[in-house]
Every structure is written in C-alpha cells, then in structure tokens.
Structure 1
C-alpha cells in the first residue's frame, strides 16, 4: 500500500513538470518586483531587501552603501537651488581628502635691449599651493519603522529631501563664513586688504570701502562702479554679485541722476536680474549691512572659489541605536576655499 501511494505522488509531480507550469508560491504581503524598488527595499527591510548590482558601489570599510545615482542627482539639483555658491563656484570631484592645486602668480617679466647688448635674467612666475580644508558633512534623519512599513510612502524621495535640506544649510553657511576647521573656509573668512592686485599678498582679498560706517555714502552707485572696476577685465567675464535679500532690497531702489534704476529685472524666464549689467545671486548667509561688514561680493567665483568633494554620498541604515526609529546616516566629504584672490572683490561698509 505504501509503495502504491508513492508511485501516485511521483506521477502527480511528473504531470506538473510536463505541463510546463511555473511553481505556484503564495504572494508575500507587501511584495513587489525587484528593480527600481531594490534600494527602497533595503531602506525598509535592511540588507535582505537589496541587491548589490542595484547600488552605485560598495562603501569603505566603515560600512554602508553608496546612494544610487538617481538619488545623488536629486540632491545635487536641490543643493544648487538652496546653496547658490555651489552653482557659481568651481566644483571638482576628488577621490581623497588630500586635494592640492597650484596657482601661478607674478608672470614673466620682459625687457628691451639693443641688438648686441647683453640680456639679463628676467623674473619667473611663482607657484602657490592651494589646499582647501575639508570635513565630513553629514545628516542623520530618522523615521519610525511603522512609517517605513507604509507601502504608499515614497522612502527615496523623503530621504533625498531630508539629506538635501541638511546639506544645503551647512554648505551655504560654510562656503561664505566657514572658519576652515573641519569644514570649508568661506570667502568672507579670508584675510582682506584695501591694496590692489599688484601690491597685495596672494590669498588676501581686496575690499572697497563704502565711504561710511554701516551705510552707503553719497552717490552709492559710484562705489558699486568702483567695485566692478577693481576687478580686472579678464575676470569680469562671468562675474556676478553676491548679497542677501535685505541688502538687495536697498540696492534695488538706487537710481542714477536721470532717474533710471541701477537694477534691471530679468526679461526672460531662467535668466537672472542684473546690476550694472552683471547677474545677482542671493545668498542669505551674507551679512546684513552694518559697521565694517562685508555685505557685498563681486567676482568670478568660477575662477576664485574652489569646492572639492567626494563624488558619492555614503548612506548607512541604522535600525538599532534608537529603536523603534530607523536612522539614515548620510555623509559626504566637502572642502572649499578661495583659490584665486584676484578674482573676488568685497564691498566693506566702512569709512576707509
């Protein structure tokens, strides 16, 4: 009797195989096909829900996974909108924290001589090393496990927005006012002097005094023109103004002698408004007008300010440290400093 039952069971399996039907398995609750949702599965369930091929690459020995390429693109786009210095500066991707750049200054001297006169040695350029200080920029947003279990919740979009908000606020402040200690050195934290390019030491920014402490002197448009002309012609191609909205509100009311506004609004979508023919960038981290404040910057930031960053953002999922919350620890190494002190000028609200 036992042998007969086994033969019948084997025959039933053969019938299923011969029919070419796939094995039937019950659908798990919340199951969805892998693919674009692979990273979301990792965020919801941990390492069991992700395939390595769906990621941009493995992390360092510290652990975690690199954010997928589509999330990195969203973060970069949001940063450009919130942190405007990134959009106008020179951004380079580096593979380590030890980035160095050489800047030649001084130029080559020349001279005149008679046909048979002796030729003396002329001056040669000098090299200056630029090494932007850097630090780990991080964000650590958290979400409850119950919220992550909600199938209608877009985890990737939420993660990108949270990281972008944290990174944009920190970057915007550091690129303007950072002290260079475990973070970028802002251009307003650089040494300043009133001397011109020919006599000023490398790495020192030139400022133009407004003529009054904490205010514009008479005929403020004259000082704005002086600031523009203090930047040499090669750098004025691609130059822009940088100030906060409070300073911009005062400047938008300035008029010339014949009653024309110095400010020119944008006439096309996507084009910035201009001041004296140059685009204006609003950076809320710039200081308000006060005594001895450096509230207005003008220059070619693509040539004058360097941002060095690692190419990828690292994300580590931590469901253990703060149960029942899941933390998404994101980190990115970013550095920055003034690379060419001749390319950026400042307006100082002082008598001299």
Structure 2
C-alpha cells in the first residue's frame, strides 16, 4: 500500500491588499506499507471434537486469537519489517533523547523528551512503555516543584497521564536498562496499520479424514510502518 509522503513545506508570505499571491511547490514522495502474512494450523482429533460438544473448537479459536494478537503487538513494537511488519522501535529515522542517567529513567529526561517534539505533535502525543517502566515513572517528581509527573485518570475510562499526555502500557516495550529505549513518545497518526484480512479460520475435515483428524487453518494479513518519523521520540537510558 502506497501513501503520499510530504518532503517539503509550503512557503506562505505576508502580502498587502493589492499584492499578488505567490505559488508554493511542496514536494511529495511515497511511503510503502508492505502487507505481511502470519499463519499456522492446528490438528484436532474428530473424537475430541465430537465429545466436547463444540468446546474443543472454541478453545482452539480462542488460543489462535490470543496467539495472533500477541504476535501483532510484538511486531508493531519491535518488528524488523522483513517477514513481519515494521515496528516503531526498529525504525532508524526516529530520534531519541537521553534519560540523563546511566541505568535508569529520570523525570528530567522525560520532560526533555516531552519538549523535544514540536508542539503540533506534542499536543496529540501519547507515551508508550511497559509496566516496569510505568511503575518507575509513577514514583518520579520533577526537580523544580517536586510534583509527581504521573497523574491518575480524572474520570472512569479516561487514561492516566504523564505531563498532561496519556500513557499506554505495551508489554513488548524494552525494560529499563543501560543503552535500552524503554519509552516512546509521539503522535501515532505517523504510524499506519493496514488490515487486509482479519483473522481467517478455515476448517478442513477432509485432508486427514482417514486418520480421524480435522485440520484448522488460521491466517492474518496485515501491514504496518512509520510514515512520519518526526512525530516520534524515544528515550534512551544514557547520560
């Protein structure tokens, strides 16, 4: 799937009442999001299918859904972009801000990361980190006022926030550690996920019928990629 990618900006100018407008010529490139496929199959004995009154098939479908969901979540964070989708943390064009400490996150590092994004992206941005990083962040205070930088949700269903922006837990984000990138901050309109085929379950009772086995095929086709790296910033554990 091809998306237009702006590579320059327009050039508006202040004009007097009778002055003519001047043209701008922004340039555009293309960004490609390649569709990937993840698949597997499961063999189930016909006796088990018959004796379980539909429960065995339901359990297999649930296991497949959980497996495919976990694989997609991992790919959207750390996918190499070869056989799997491109992950946010593997895109080489996303910049980073250091945490300010050799082996841990700091409040000042998160504040620096926050303001490293242009305001237009910052005001639509979300923090992403795993539970270990989130636990560490909840204990942080800024060095000026001593206030906690993490804030609880103000109403039921609303997200928690860090420095006024929502925070999302992603289990596949790296842990805090020297040289790691445990936190991502950005406007996620710069990352595209393209669904081509929802989880497809195909039951084939004929292929292995002489062995008393039914084969269940599962397939999912999805692509993802960073379209605008400038909308994101990583935190690197470093001084």
**TM range, smaller chain:** 0.7 to 0.9
Task: Report if aligned partners of 2:38, 2:220 keep a CA contact under 8 Å in 1.
Answer: yes
Gap runs ≥5 in structure 1: 1-98, 192-203
Task: Report if aligned partners of 2:35, 2:85 keep a CA contact under 8 Å in 1.
Answer: yes
Cα distance in structure 2, aligned partners of 1:287 and 1:107: 35
From 109, 125, 128, the counterpart of 2:11: 109
Task: Report if aligned partners of 1:304, 1:340 keep a CA contact under 8 Å in 2.
Answer: yes
From 155, 165, 177, the counterpart of 1:278: 165
Aligned length: 236
In the TM superposition, residue 274 of structure 1 has moved relative to its aligned partner by 1.3
Task: Report if aligned partners of 1:102, 1:127 keep a CA contact under 8 Å in 2.
Answer: yes
The equivalent of 1:248 in structure 2 is 134
The equivalent of 1:333 in structure 2 is 221
The equivalent of 1:295 in structure 2 is 182
From 84, 94, 111, the counterpart of 1:205: 94
Give the 3-state SS of the residue equivalent to 1:185 in structure 2. coil
Alignment of 1:15-34 (within 5 A): none
Task: Report if aligned partners of 1:141, 1:163 keep a CA contact under 8 Å in 2.
Answer: no
Change (3 A) 1:141 1:279: farther
Change (3 A) 1:237 1:155: farther
User: Normalized against structure 2, the TM-score is what?
Assistant: 0.86
The superposition leaves residues 260-301 of structure 1 with CA deviations (integer Å, 9 ceiling, x where unpaired) of 322222243322211111111111111112222111001111
Task: Report if aligned partners of 1:235, 1:300 keep a CA contact under 8 Å in 2.
Answer: yes
Change (3 A) 1:304 1:156: farther
Task: Report if aligned partners of 1:306, 1:339 keep a CA contact under 8 Å in 2.
Answer: yes
The superposition leaves residues 49-80 of structure 1 with CA deviations (integer Å, 9 ceiling, x where unpaired) of xxxxxxxxxxxxxxxxxxxxxxxxxxxxxxxx
Cα distance in structure 2, aligned partners of 1:117 and 1:336: 46
The equivalent of 1:3 in structure 2 is none
More strand by proportion, 1 or 2?
2
